[in-house]
Each structure stands twice: as structure tokens, then as C-alpha cells.
Amino acid sequence: MACTLNRDDPLGGLPPKHCLNGGYKPVFTNRLQLEEALSFCKTTLENNLKENVNLVRVSAPLFVTRASGFNDNLNGVERPATFEPRDFPGTHLEVPFSLAKWKRWALHYYGVEAGKGIVTDFRGLRCDDDVDFTHSLYVDQFDWEKHIAAEDRNIDYLKATVKAIYKALYDTEQAVCKKYGIDAYLPEELTFATSDDMIKEHPTATPKERENILCEKHKAVFFIGIGGMKPDGQLRHDGRAPDYDDWITERPDGGHGLNGDLLLWNPVLKQSFEISSMGIRVNPEVLLKQLDLCGVNERKEFVWHKMLLDGTLPQTIGGGIGQSRTCQYLLRACHIGEVQHGWYNPKEVEILKKDGIQLLGLGEFDADPSAKSS
């Protein structure tokens, strides 16, 4: 998600100014009722996803070994939360950033046939993520992956899958709004746009500005082509790791990449709001090219990469749908901490509390509430 956090501002993680000083009223003030609503949102969305995309729920790992190469490397610079088992010094275990690679292996492990997929209730940690009103250190998402045929690696299949996912989200919003008396906002039809076209139309705009232009106009957009470089060597829109999404394959429209982000216009925050990142995954040929472009050819020696290169792993499409991010949107919350137990800038927490904006759990404290004062 293109970020708006101003690192030079000590309070840069606060919601937009129009949400402060009484400009925002939460849908729920009772915490237990909020928790019931969160459960309803997640259960409804998961059920809709399973039906629309033909997915089966499976369990997921909380950690993987570093040597396996199963962790999602995101942009390649983030530090994973790592630990060593007490009795096995030298063994490095990592909390995954996402299950982008693990899911593809899981399709092979479970013997899932083409046309069917899996979905997991993923929980992870991202200690290098921005901490603001839409980002936290804790990641919860519906990580999904679907086995596809080789001939399905094309833009039409990507769009058809995106439409099925958007329909699940649209139906979920309809159910949530009906149950809790919230005004529905999502349009029935999703708009598709490409990063290549938006760069041509708005060459001086930032990635976030381009997203805002699109989303304010269309309300719901799938932004195609994330990752890779422009001719000047700068990111085309945002970063992607080289070993899950395919961001180099040329499309019939002349652009590159068989992946994208699902973006919504958030009526509370009045800005674009990323719900999901997804795409058709690399095949052996694309993996080798993208590893070379990113200068990480050593990854070919990892277990996961060897399994992909020798044809053991199937061709797939997959992505992640942020659970807390979706709940923040559906329940019209101005801060992700209202719908998720997390940790946030203590100075910002105090400002939010004074403004009547309640964060869940320990997120509302600037220290351990059980700690004895000195």
C-alpha cells in the first residue's frame, strides 16, 4: 500500500485531520459488540471467498525455517521476527511476513487439483512496517492460493478471479451494512486500471496520488502491474519480491505484470485504501528472470525455489486479503487499532483517547497496564 506516513512528523501516524477534534464518530462504542461485529465480518467474507473462488480452509504455520526459503521476502529489505529453539542453537526460525510461498507448496502438499484452491487464517509480524492509522506490526489476512492450468497465466484469468473476489467483498459489505445499519458504499462493478497508463496520464504524481485519483472517481479499482522498474530505473508503482507475483510478463495492452492491488475509496478517511494484493505467480522461466533482475540469484539454492524450478510446485494464482484492514473499512473505523489488538505511537494514542477514539486492548495504553509504576 502506497504510504502517506510523514516520518518527519512525530505525530505522522494519526488519521487525517478531518477525523479528529470530533469530526469522526465510531459505529460501535461497546467493545463486546464491536468484537461480535468483527467476527461477523471475517466469517462472512471467508465464506463468500470460499464459495466464489472455490477455496478450502486449511491450517497455516506460525513460523518457518530461514533455510527453507518459504518466507515471503516482500521488498527484500524487511527484517523478519526471528528466534532460535532453546535446544537447537543455530536453527533460525522466522515468523512469516505472509504465506505467499508456503501456500503454493501447500497446494502440492495437499494434492489440490487445478481449478481449486486453499485459504488460511494467517497471522504474522512485520517489525519494519509503518505504524499508523492503516498499518500495524501485526498482520492478519486471508491468504489464499489456487491451482491453475498453464494456459490460465493471462490477464483475462486474472481479471475473472479479481471479479470473483470483489463480489465476495461486495456481498460481505451488503450483509454487514444490513445487520448494523451502516450505509453501503461499494459499487456493484469493479474498475480495472494499469500502472503503465496511470504513469502516462499523471507522470508527476506520486503512487499514492495516482491511487487517490483513481479511487475517488471509481470507488473500487483493481490496479494492474505492481513491481518492476520504469525506464528511468525507478519503481513502476510499488515494490514486489521477485519470487511470487509475475511482474514482467507483457500483456496484450503493452504493459507488464499479471498482478495488482484491490483499492477502495474510503469514505471515512477520504483516500484510497488497499484491501488486497494478488496476482498470477511466477513460473520457472519468470522466476529466473526476476531473481536476476533483483540480484538475488542465490535464492535458487533454497528448497522452495528448487521445487518450483524442477516443476514440483503447480502453476497458481493467489493473494492476501487484509482482515483488519477490511474490518476497518466495513465498520467505518478511522484507525486500524480500533479493530485490531496492536501497538501504536504512545503520543498518538493519548491524542486519540482524548478525542474519544478507542483502540482495542493494549493498543490503548502507552505501557504495560499491569506494570507497577516506579
CATH code, 114? 3.30.930.10
- 241 or 316, higher pLDDT: 316
Specify the amino acid at residue 224.
I
Q: Which domain holds residue 285?
A: 38-333
The pLDDT confidence band at residue 253, using thresholds 50, 70 and 90, is: very high
Q: What is the pLDDT of residue 218?
A: 97
pTM score, two decimals?
0.91
Task: Return d(Cα 126, Cα 351) in angstroms, integer.
Answer: 25
Mean pLDDT, range 5-16, rounded to an integer: 78
Look at residue 363 and tell me if it is in a domain.
no
Residues belonging to the active site: 72, 126, 141, 261, 274, 277
Look at residue 286 and tell me if it is in a domain.
yes
Could you give the residue ranges of the DSSP H alpha helices within 219-345? Answer: 284-293, 303-309, 323-330
Q: How many domains in the chain?
A: 1
- 7 or 309, higher pLDDT: 309
Mean pLDDT, range 111-130, rounded to an integer: 92
State the CB neighbour count (10 A cutoff) for residue 138.
Answer: 17
The pLDDT confidence band at residue 374, using thresholds 50, 70 and 90, is: very low
Task: Return d(Cα 242, Cα 251) in angstroms, integer.
Answer: 18
The angle at the Cα of 179, spanning 175 to 182, to the nearest 5 degrees, equals 90
Look at residue 373 and tell me if it is in a domain.
no
Q: How many CA atoms lie within 13 A of 83 on its CB side?
A: 8
Task: Return d(Cα 374, Cα 371) in angstroms, integer.
Answer: 9
Look at residue 279 and tell me if it is in a domain.
yes
Q: What is the pLDDT of residue 8?
A: 66
Of 263, 243, 240, 234, nearest to 322 by C-alpha is 263
Residue 340 has pLDDT above 70, yes or no: yes
Look at residue 367 and tell me if it is in a domain.
no
State the CB neighbour count (10 A cutoff) for residue 153.
Answer: 20
Estimate to the nearest angstrom the gap between the alpha carbon of 264 and the chain centroid: 13
Look at residue 346 and tell me if it is in a domain.
no
Using one digit for the tens of pLDDT, what is the confidence trace for 180-212? Answer: 999 999 999 999 999 889 988 998 998 899 999
Contacts with 33 (C-beta within 8 Å, 6 or more apart), sequence order: none
Residue 61 has pLDDT above 50, yes or no: yes
Task: Return d(Cα 91, Cα 294) in angstroms, integer.
Answer: 27
Look at residue 19 and tell me if it is in a domain.
no
Task: Return d(Cα 244, Cα 97) in angstroms, integer.
Answer: 13
